[in-house]
């Protein structure tokens, strides 16, 4: 993304109102992210963010049903998680609501935690790494924000199968220790 220096900022500030209006209309008609940004931040502040959340959640459901390339099921799931994170990143560019972002992360983490724990700790480490990165991102959001909505989100996280969560973390930790030992030898 280009950085605006002070000279460009001054030139933009000197633009006429109608020129700015034309620029916004052109960008909103060509770029979906600009369209969503204008809707959520200026036109429909009350329900725009929630609507964008629901659209993102339905897009994630489509991503879940899609078939991905990969030699094994772990690699296919890793590619699916990569696509999910890409879609969530598009959501966070428009909406800065961390509670909704955490809810989307929980939504995609339900897939790996609903599967058998034998999926973790295999030679296909991309899957383990993706799940660990998503968990880390979720933990950072939950621990850094202290609001009532985050507390409710914490309760939802605790209601997930805690033993699967612990097993996954243990497998990822053991795998990283083994990898470090191999790397040091």
Q: How far apart are CA 134 and CA 104, in angstroms?
A: 11
Burial of residue 76 (number of CB atoms within 10 Å: 0-12, 13-18, 19+): middle
Which residues, other chains included, contact 174 with Cβ-Cβ below 8 Å and sequence gap of 6+?
121
Angle formed by the axes of helices 125-144 and 148-159, nearest 10°: 140
Residue 172 pLDDT > 80: no
pLDDT digits (tens, 9 = 90+) for 75-102: 888 888 999 999 999 898 888 888 888 8
SS3 15: coil
Q: Which residue ranges make up each domain of the chain?
A: 6-184
* Sign (positive or negative) of CA dihedral 177, 182, 183, 185: positive
Predicted structure pTM score: 0.69
């Amino acid at each position: 993304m280009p950085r605006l220096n002070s000279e460009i900022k001054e030139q933009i500030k000197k633009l006429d109102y109608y020129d700015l209006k034309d620029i916004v209309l052109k960008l909103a008609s060509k770029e979906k992210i600009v369209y969503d940004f204008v809707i959520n931040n200026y036109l429909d502040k009350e329900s725009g963010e929630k609507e964008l959340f629901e659209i993102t959640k339905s897009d994630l459901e489509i991503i879940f049903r899609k078939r991905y390339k990969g030699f094994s099921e772990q690699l296919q799931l890793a590619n699916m998680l990569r696509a999910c994170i890409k879609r969530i990143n598009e959501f966070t560019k428009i909406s800065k609501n961390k509670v909704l972002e955490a809810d989307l992360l929980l939504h995609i983490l339900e897939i790996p935690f609903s599967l058998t724990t034998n999926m973790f700790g295999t030679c296909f480490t991309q899957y383990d790494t993706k799940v660990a990165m998503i968990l880390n991102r979720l933990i950072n959001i939950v621990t850094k924000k202290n609001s009532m909505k985050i507390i409710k989100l914490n309760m939802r996280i605790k209601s997930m199968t805690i033993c699967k969560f612990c097993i996954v973390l243990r497998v990822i930790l053991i795998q990283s220790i083994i990898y470090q030992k191999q790397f040091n030898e």
